[in-house]
Amino acid sequence: MASQQQSLEAVKEYADDYELKLDWIDTQGEWGIKATPDTRKGLTLQDIQTGSYGDVPEHTDNMTGRPRGAAEREGAYRTGGYTVRTKSDIWLSNAAMLYEEALQRQWSSATDIPWDTIKPLPDDIERAQCQLATFLTEVEFVAADVPGKWVAATSPDYFEPRMFLITQIMDESRHLDIFRKRALANGGGLMQRPDVTTRGVVGSIDLSRDFTEMSSRLHISGEGAVLTIFRMGELMAYNEAEKYMYRLAGQDESRHVAFGVMHMRYLAETEPDRKEEVHAYLDEGERALVAGNQNPAARDTAQSEALAVLLGGGQKHYDDGYKKLLAIRKRQAREYVQRIKSAGFGERFENGRALPELMEYVTG
């Protein structure tokens, strides 16, 4: 086999004969890189993080859309208004792994849900299912809408978390899809538009000024609370279709929450000076969580009443259902505490920074 130098000389001689420029031939990234696919998983993003191509800059001024590792081209024009250009603003150690998992675990809302198992239900149960489906449809719309803004704002040098966010948009779109389908699949329909998304954590997600602020609201507080509901979904399911809905949506949602936890952990380890900033975001999220769990006026919303009806087995057993709902709310708070500890901010539960009302609710 000819050496690299011999190959280049042959190409240049060919170029001279045909009056070709071929000036790009010497301006390449690292040569000789060969990624080896995993025998079971195939060629993954982790496999191509080799040589200099796996080096992620702490800061980048790449505004041209140039792929990480490619040679710069003089005079290239800007293709994006990237505001996320510092690694710690968006990075996490396992973004590539979560992206690959998202690809491998895609499912179809049309064919992977056994819609034919939905049979007529008592009116109060069906209305409660439709109200909950209406609520979740709107929540998932927000969860799909917000990440899209940060995809466009992120430099291609940080393509791994950016690509994961694209999979999240697809996941959330599919969740919106299945809950809307459930509302329309059994003779019911969409019910009252919930007001929970206009206040508290969910309503403030879109107001976030940087990615970490958004992620603390969306992935940690918002999606974390929804994940608990999905995990308890079989308690509210009256057929196999509903069980599959919550099960499949839950596996997606757990990835989104893991993304937020791992990003916060990376930030805590690499930018400890920013921990106070993140604690301020968590203060806000806890106030919203406490308001939603302990304030009766906030608790008695259409979706909470619908949950109580479903958990109890009908309006006649509303009180029993409401007790189960309170247990779910308590579990939401406890799982929130575990996420924050895993993310590297557990000191707030030891030094009194966490809201006392939240801790009373967790330990009560």
- pLDDT tens readout for residues 9-58: 766 676 666 666 677 776 667 778 888 898 888 999 999 998 888 999 99
Which amino acid appears at position 143 of this protein?
A
**Count, residues in the chain:** 364
Q: Which of 291, 249, 312, 259 is nearest to 122 (CA)?
A: 312
- Rounded to whole angstroms, the Cα distance separating 156 from 236 reads 42
Longest CA span, the chain: 90
The CATH code of domain 87-363 reads 1.10.620.20
Query: What pTM, to 2 d.p., does this model score?
Result: 0.90
CB atoms within 10 A of CB 320: 14
Q: Are 285 and 216 in contact (CB under 8 A)?
A: yes
pLDDT tier, 300 (very low <50, low <70, confident <90, very high otherwise): low
Q: Is the dihedral of CA 11, 12, 14, 15 positive or negative?
A: positive
Query: In the chain, where are the structural domains located?
Result: 87-363
pLDDT digit string, tens, across residues 199-247:
455 557 777 889 999 999 999 989 999 999 999 999 999 999 999 999 9
- Rounded to whole angstroms, the Cα distance separating 228 from 338 reads 13
Structure tokens at 89: 């603003």
- Rounded to whole angstroms, the Cα distance separating 225 from 76 reads 45
